[in-house]
């Protein structure tokens, strides 16, 4: 029996098929550029065959149908639709103020996902489409929704409310929600296993540094604060997002640059961060490193700002948690860049955080400890695996059904 994970995004659908018993990945892949010219499916099937072809897919529903055909195609695997799939786990971005855990999908859960469309207009609609497509293709197979925001539901009010009129929270639900919760939950749980200590006894700062970046303070398994806010724009500087910003800059842009809300949205989400500051025409850290190595001072400056922000949050969350046991680095940058890890932890000796340069350089995309013997705080690199976390949570819930 298998568990299927579907991550339906704004223009792509990713899927992973796990063996239900040992959570080994059996097949995985994605359909990308949905609704655009040059839609492609790339996959590794259950029979170990690599598939990569152009196709025509108009929407999420058709993409899920294509994935289901591939999974159940006799030449590629022997998965029987429905019969062999024990459950389907879906990544859903926003559960708003309504959902604080993963749930088995029913009519009321679908209504909640719909209610949150305005909070995540690019993500929740395709997430729901993915669920409804699976209901048609795999009738009777239980489906679970795992929300990006759910892990952060334990954040106390003092950390999730903004200094705005309270009515804006009460009536419009403007508050910090936090995102990337599935990743923060997975790496904090994995860090506890790695350290061979119960998660309930650990205070962890989890740094998810990918294209999107966020930091979470995890107190004995519970998120108590996180850097992304009402939307993923707040907090750390990211690939193309600006992160923390004085809101008055928005009025300045409106008045002095005559930008409208859509243009400002685009500027802050798509043209800022590493892309905007480094000015090398790319938000990919590897390109920025390359420019920096060639003496590009603008690229250096961007790296300095990027890592300073991480350090600032590590400091703030150390105090929010009242001391920490471990800092965890994860995602594309956190797992693969010793330099960013080093710069982010530089000068944190007073907080008990000291990196060992050799151990740090030796870890690239694998799990490991990188602190020095003198460091009071463990510094870990833990590759994230959101799909596996969704599979774990799906199976946990299916056992209860």
Catalytic residue numbers? 148
Among 103, 333, 354, 397, binds ligand ADP (CB under 6 A): 333
Give the separation between CA 118 and CA 249, rounded to whole angstroms.
Answer: 24
Q: Which of 59, 132, 244, 284 binds ligand ADP (CB under 6 A)?
A: 284
* Piece in contact with ligand ADP (CB under 6 A), picked from 34-42, 169-177, 193-201, 282-290: 282-290
Between 29 and 212, CB nearer to ligand ADP: 212
262: Cβ contacts below 8 Å, ≥ 6 apart: none
Q: Is 73 left (phi over 0), alpha (psi -120 to 50) or beta?
A: beta
CB nearer to ligand ADP: give 87 or 126. Answer: 126
Site for ligand ADP in 193-232 (CB under 6 A): 210-212
| Those residues with Cβ within 8 angstroms of residue 325's Cβ, 6 or more apart along the chain or in another chain | 195, 197, 202, 203, 204, 377, 378
| Binding of ligand ADP by 239 (CB under 6 A) | yes
Shortest approach of ligand ADP to residue 368 CB, angstroms? 15
Q: Which two tokens stand for residue 378?
A: 């463990």
> CB-based contacts of 225: which residues, under 8 Å, 6+ apart?
155, 159, 216, 217, 317, 320
Which range binds ligand ADP by CB under 6 A, 43-51, 70-78, 160-168, 278-286?
Answer: 278-286
Dihedral angle, C-alpha 249, 250, 254, 257, nearest 10 °: 50
Count of CA atoms in the C-beta half-sphere (13 A) of 265: 5
Q: Residues in contact with ligand ADP, total (CB under 6 A)?
A: 12
- Site membership for ligand ADP, residue 337 (CB under 6 A): yes
> 376: which residues sit within 8 A by CB, 6+ positions away?
352, 353
Comparison of 114 and 286: residue with beta carbon closer to ligand ADP: 286
- Min CB(45)–ligand ADP separation in Å: 23
Q: Does 285 bind ligand ADP (CB under 6 A)?
A: yes
Task: Tell me the residue nearest to ligand ADP as measured from the CB.
Answer: 332
Strand, helix or coil at 118?
helix
For ligand ADP, give the closer residue by CB, 66 or 274.
274
CB of 193 to ligand ADP, least distance (A): 21
For residues 143 and 105, the answer to whether their CB atoms sit within 8 Å is yes
Query: Is 37 strand, coil or helix?
Result: coil
Residue range at the interface with ligand ADP (CB under 6 A); choices 69-77, 86-94, 229-237, 325-333: 325-333
Binding mask 36-75 for ligand ADP (x = CB under 6 A): ----------------------------------------
Q: Is 336 in the site for ligand ADP (CB under 6 A)?
A: yes
With CB under 6 A as the contact rule, which of the stretches 86-94, 185-193, 297-305, 327-335 interacts with ligand ADP?
327-335
- Measured from the Cβ of residue 389, the count of other Cβ atoms closer than 10 Å reads 25
Largest CA-CA distance found in the chain, in angstroms, rounded: 62
Describe the crossing of helices 261-270 and 248-256 by its angle, rounded to 10 degrees. Answer: 120
């Amino acid at each position: 029996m298998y568990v299927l994970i579907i991550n339906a995004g704004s223009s792509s659908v990713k899927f992973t098929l796990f063996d239900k018993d040992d959570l080994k990945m059996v097949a995985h892949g994605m359909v990308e550029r949905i609704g655009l010219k040059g839609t492609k499916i790339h996959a590794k099937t259950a029979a170990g065959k690599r598939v990569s072809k152009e196709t025509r897919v108009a929407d999420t529903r058709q993409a899920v149908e294509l994935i289901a055909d591939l999974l159940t195609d006799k030449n590629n695997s022997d998965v029987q639709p429905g019969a062999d799939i024990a459950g389907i786990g879906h990544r859903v971005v926003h559960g708003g103020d309504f959902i604080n855990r993963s749930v088995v999908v029913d009519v009321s859960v679908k209504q909640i996902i719909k209610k949150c469309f305005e909070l995540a207009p690019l993500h929740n609609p395709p997430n729901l489409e993915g669920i409804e497509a699976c209901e048609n293709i795999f009738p009777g197979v239980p489906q679970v929704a795992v929300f990006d925001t759910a892990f952060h539901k334990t954040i106390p009010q003092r950390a999730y409310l903004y200094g705005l009129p309270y009515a804006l929270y009460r009536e419009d639900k403007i508050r910090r929600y936090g995102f990337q919760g599935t990743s923060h939950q997975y790496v904090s749980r994995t860090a506890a296993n790695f350290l061979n200590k119960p998660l309930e006894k650990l205070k962890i700062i989890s740094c998810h540094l990918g294209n999107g970046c966020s930091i979470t303070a995890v107190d004995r398994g519970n998120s108590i604060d996180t850097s992304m806010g009402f939307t993923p724009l707040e907090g750390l500087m990211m690939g193309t997002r600006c992160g923390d910003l004085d809101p008055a800059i928005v009025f300045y842009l409106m008045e002095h640059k005559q930008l409208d809300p859509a243009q400002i949205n685009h500027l802050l989400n798509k043209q800022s961060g590493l892309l905007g500051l480094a000015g090398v025409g790319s938000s990919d850290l590897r390109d920025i490193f390359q420019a920096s190595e060639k003496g590009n001072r603008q690229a250096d400056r961007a790296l300095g700002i990027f890592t300073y922000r991480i350090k600032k949050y590590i400091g703030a969350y150390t105090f929010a948690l009242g001391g920490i046991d471990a800092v965890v680095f994860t995602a594309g940058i956190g797992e693969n860049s010793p330099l960013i890890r080093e710069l982010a932890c530089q000068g944190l000796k007073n907080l008990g955080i000291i990196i060992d340069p050799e151990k740090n350089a030796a870890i690239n995309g694998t799990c490991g400890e990188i602190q020095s013997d003198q460091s009071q705080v463990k510094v870990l690199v833990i590759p994230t695996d959101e799909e596996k976390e969704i599979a774990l949570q799906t199976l946990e819930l299916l056992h209860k059904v």
